[in-house]
């Protein structure tokens, strides 16, 4: 072991992390966190990554934790550096991704006394984290014991609640004194299994079996083979429709995976035929605004939400909270379910079949544009590549197409911001070591361009950049398009390309602007390479907003 910090609290925090099996650390440079950096970087038991921009670093760690499904540490110096983690913290909070913010701080007596790089760091993330602790600088035995207990309880919360925590550590100078041998060692720590509330499965079964129209709506969900298997059994019932999105990571011919192709402003009679009596929602956020509007206006008699962390009343109709892992509940529930004769599934399916035909007709008749590009991109995903979508229009286009079940799909839909999509994708690629392609819009890409400033960039990382010259989503959503400032203050039109960024950060780069070149580009784009790659698709000359509106009019 190379030289580590002589500060006992630094050794204590490092050994506690290892005792809990936490070994991925994303570090950003600074002086106040110098002792922590020296400790982690010189201990080969840790996997450390240097990311200069703290905002990007937070999302890189989020992407890592998303894939590892265990806590990842982000560590920075004092002051505004810590505040730059906030966007990633909020995303992790609403996605239930376990992040540990370890922030170095000035000594407590300097806070609010105009000392450099000093802000009120203690409890900075209180509203969007599940545990916040301020450790003591003291190395007295009682204080070390207290710090150990505070850290332990915080880590247990992080793991049980799968959510962010914040550990704030004040440091006085000197910061870089070192030793060769640690003074503190901690044995592995085993935490108790999480305990869930008891569930009256028989009561749920009786209500389910007596209903003629049941809808299961699955939002953002990590791939889970057991959950998928159990859900497929429920989906065989003609009184059940299962609605999924690309981020649900579920695939079956019985699932309705393109919700926005089915839900339209139909007549009252038609909408009544689609309305469920029981709505069972599972997982995190739903992207589709159409299904949200439909279920808020045509509320089910019963709404059950199944999730171990959140029980949101998204449709203002919540009647039952099922607080456990979805696969745990379904394993108990499915054996008691009896299929019921109903026309509910066939009613939904007849709409889907008709709209699938119209979808193909429309794609074939339109010129090169965003929608046409997405059809090509998604048809050409290689098997077993991980897909990371950006937000705004990109994920909404993705929802309109079938995806291969070998491609796990992820998107930051916790807070749905564009600020860290590329950084998240890079972190996911690093941690999973899986071939990864990021699909992003131009505003999101340029906004998070510091994501490319990362010495850990894997050569099997790819970016597909849809450059339509601005934030096209503001041409689609109601409101901004009706103003006379949409181009300057909402859409923010520009003439940038990724060429110079690609050169600066040593990416292979290609730009195309027609369908033939796009179709011919994929073999080379996905081929093995010593460098990551960017494929820029220029659709700035297309009437993307008019074509997308025309799509929904044509299908309807």
Cα(first)–Cα(last) distance of the chain, in Å? 66
474: confidence class by pLDDT, cuts 50, 70, 90: very low
Q: Which two tokens stand for residue 262?
A: 């089915």
491: confidence class by pLDDT, cuts 50, 70, 90: low
- The pLDDT tens digits for 434-468 are 999 999 999 999 999 999 999 999 999 999 999 99
Flag whether the pTM goes above 0.95: no
Cβ burial 29-49 (10 Å sphere, 16+ → b, else e): ebebbbbbbbbbebbeebebb
371-375: average pLDDT: 97
Mean pLDDT of the chain, nearest integer:
93
- The pLDDT tens digits for 10-65 are 999 999 999 999 999 999 999 999 999 999 999 999 999 999 999 999 999 999 99
Nearest to 84 by CA among 57, 104, 106: 57
| pLDDT score for 7 | 95
Integer Cα distance of 121 and 114 in angstroms: 14
| pLDDT score for 472 | 53
Nearest to 75 by CA among 198, 177, 202, 169: 169
């Amino acid at each position: 072991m190379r030289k580590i910090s002589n500060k006992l609290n630094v050794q204590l925090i490092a050994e506690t992390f290892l005792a809990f099996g936490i070994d991925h650390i994303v570090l950003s440079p600074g002086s106040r966190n110098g002792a922590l950096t020296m400790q982690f970087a010189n201990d080969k038991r840790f996997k450390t990554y240097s990311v200069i921009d703290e905002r990007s670093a937070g999302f890189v760690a989020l992407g890592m934790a998303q894939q590892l499904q265990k806590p990842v540490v982000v560590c920075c110096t004092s002051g505004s550096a810590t505040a730059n983690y906030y966007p990633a913290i909020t995303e992790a909070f609403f996605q239930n991704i376990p992040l540990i913010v370890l922030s170095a701080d000035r000594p407590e007596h300097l806070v609010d006394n105009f000392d450099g790089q000093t802000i009120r760091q203690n409890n900075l993330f209180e509203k969007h984290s599940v545990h916040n602790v301020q450790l003591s600088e003291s190395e007295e035995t009682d204080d070390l014991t207290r710090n150990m207990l505070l850290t332990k309880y915080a880590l247990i919360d992080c793991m049980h609640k799968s959510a962010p925590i914040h550990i704030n550590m004040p440091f006085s100078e000197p910061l870089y004194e070192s030793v060769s041998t640690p003074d503190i060692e901690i044995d592995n720590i085993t935490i108790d299994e999480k305990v869930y509330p008891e569930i009256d499965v028989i009561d749920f079964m009786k209500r389910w079996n007596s209903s003629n129209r049941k809808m299961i709506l699955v939002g953002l969900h990590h791939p889970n083979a057991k959950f998928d298997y159990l859900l497929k059994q429920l989906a065989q019932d003609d009184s059940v429709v299962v609605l999924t999105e690309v981020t649900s990571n579920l695939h079956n011919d019985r699932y309705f995976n393109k919700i926005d192709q089915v839900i339209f402003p139909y007549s009252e009679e038609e909408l009544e035929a689609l309305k469920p009596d029981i709505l069972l929602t599972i997982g995190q956020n739903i992207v589709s605004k159409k299904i949200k509007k439909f279920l808020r206006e045509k509320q089910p008699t019963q709404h059950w939400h199944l999730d171990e962390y959140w029980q949101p009343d998204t449709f203002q109709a919540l009647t039952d909270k099922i607080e456990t892992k979805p696969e745990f509940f379904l394993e108990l529930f499915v054996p008691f379910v009896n299929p019921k004769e109903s026309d509910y599934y066939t009613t939904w399916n007849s709409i889907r079949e008709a709209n699938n035909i119209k979808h193909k007709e429309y794609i074939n008749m339109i010129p090169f544009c965003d929608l046409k590009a997405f059809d090509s991109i998604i048809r050409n995903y290689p098997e077993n590549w991980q897909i990371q979508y950006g937000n705004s229009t990109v994920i909404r286009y993705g929802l309109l197409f079938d995806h291969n079940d070998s491609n796990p799909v992820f998107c930051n839909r916790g807070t749905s911001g564009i600020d860290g999509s590329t950084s998240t994708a890079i972190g996911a690629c690093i941690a999973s070591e899986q071939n990864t392609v990021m699909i992003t819009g131009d505003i999101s890409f340029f906004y998070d361009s510091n994501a490319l400033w990362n010495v850990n960039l894997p050569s099997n990382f790819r970016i597909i950049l849809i450059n339509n010259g601005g934030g096209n989503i503001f041409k689609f959503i109601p409101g901004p398009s009706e103003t006379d400032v949409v181009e300057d203050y909402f859409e923010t039109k520009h003439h940038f390309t990724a060429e110079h960024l690609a050169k600066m950060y040593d990416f292979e780069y290609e730009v195309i602007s027609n369908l033939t070149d796009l179709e011919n580009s994929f073999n080379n784009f996905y081929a093995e390479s010593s460098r990551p790659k960017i494929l820029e698709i220029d659709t700035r000359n297309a009437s993307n907003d008019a074509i997308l509106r025309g799509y929904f009019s044509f299908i309807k």
